[in-house]
Structure 1
């Protein structure tokens, strides 16, 4: 029957209610909770129940609610027990803590602990409970609780391997490498088994904290003691050496691994390659690559691409291409977007735009779509094409970029402005900046307007430079740096009328101008004996509240 149709007298009768709820909790948790709530509304007085009956009922309600993932409901029941019943006891709290932990209800477990602490301040002398709370604190990143929970745990018993592991996780997450080492030492003293995960976590803590020498000392101790030193441990330390630029130690670790019979992994070789390339030791990187192939290490895209990147960075485009060709012969390894991006840029920088276009075609044949970086590199190649630029190809690439659904960026427009300026096509550059960013939802940065204005000034097109400056003021307030570069160029090229007009416009829009730049422009106008320019500058400087000398 519906719980709402039950006789209220029965609901208030503990001898009837308690067995009913305990029985329902075994298979119908929601119905048990509903019956409990209806009974409370019907006037059931928990203080009148036998203490043992009351605790039995609440224990069943709490544990069953947690079992079905309703820890918040369990907390409300516990609050009723404390406020209206005989109060919390240690057994219910212990059961709730352990069950929440096993069900991975970590925040809820801590919430129950906080309620217990505030409501009745039970003395928790069960080591297992503190162990559960420590684990919950780690999982919820409540790191401020961890040290206290661990201290309480050790007060009531010996910490287990899992407890120490959790403290190592805590130390690693908070960057406390010294604490991680101390936990490791405590484990040794307590004769607690230490697995490779703990060792590697402590090693990683030292490496992240840039305590590479401490990490090396630990690894040596592990090997000496016959502990579990695996390839992950060596790779972790190798990353630390690579980051510190200590390439010789990276290579020495590699030899040490061999002497211990530990087989290097793809990650091992990747770290070695990266460290050689970052230190510009390209030939050494090539040796590592050949060793890797000779030892039968399975090749992958990352390893090939890393070496290609190294040769490209060193300007050895032919060598980078040779590695790419080797990569293409591997049936199980295919170049990815990063591989092509590196090669395309390298060839563009080297002036081989035709090769770059061929690479993009090969990339598309593999089903890869060029992104903004690839298109920008190709556009940059158009700027450098035979020292004179290739505007038509750039226009075609830009159109292709839009058609492919690749959104241009400020970098894209900066490249095109440079190309148009180089080819004396400032009208098209102005038209581009006026219309294209808006058409494709790109917010043009102030630097683009400053760049184009500078290009106009270099070509002594003062009216065009002023037009671009006005466009800039329509989008944002020019910075002192922008004014400094433009006014400086006007002085250098003796375009003082243009400089005065720009300063007047800056005053009208409330722009920020460095007093030294305005004063330098004024000095130049005075020296050139241009009274009209001087008067224009004086008026603008007064409006900008800049000092005007006699």
Structure 2
């Protein structure tokens, strides 16, 4: 873009920077954050929420909550997506939480501090004021998650008020609006409401996109409605849309959990046909249920696939 004299927008920066953080390229993300600030774009809720999401996924809770503090201190309003991100990140790690905070290596810490300073150069918050003090045990983490869920409920009510106001003024909701509301219902455990809202999309003259399908597939998997998730993935592909790797992994793990070896094997094969290699945990699980169903040839094929993959990775690493 820059070589062709196209000035990046704030949307480009907010997509690129968290993507680099996700790939453990935080220092490079800082370079683009610096460019973003010099181009006159201020950090907004989308950028903060995306960064918080990535650090929660890395289980770097302390830094994620420092960003939440900084977001509030910088008067960047937290929205429904922010609350959903927080409650998802906290609930995802609740079972594994042992009261200890994950510490990354020194090199990674330097990148994070540069990122933090760029986001708020003159008001770096002390660790004593961080939200991590609110979460020092699993029980306190549950309380924190419940508070976040209540915030989601309040935000959902406000979102519907805005939706009704939009429609009264003749402004029809778009796919982004529906996706946020559907995701909110899923996180709040109201899947039937999410499905009802999904069914209203066609009535509004809209066609569900890939993001919306993936959101609902993961929602079905979350509550154990794996056959509905599988059916929706078929509908999605008939419309020429491919499930994301994350949705495939959710489907595969849910099918393994329900001991549906036939469907699980098909999903694995479908992933491979689209150049998605399943994670090692799901492959081990799949091998296990195939063995229990006396499908030894299929289990051996998956095992050989894993071995070949590891050998290929070792060759690449030795070459580089």
TM-score by structure 2 length?
0.50
Higher relative contact order (CA 8 A, sep 6+): 2
Larger gyration radius, structure 1 or structure 2: 1
TM-score by structure 1 length?
0.31
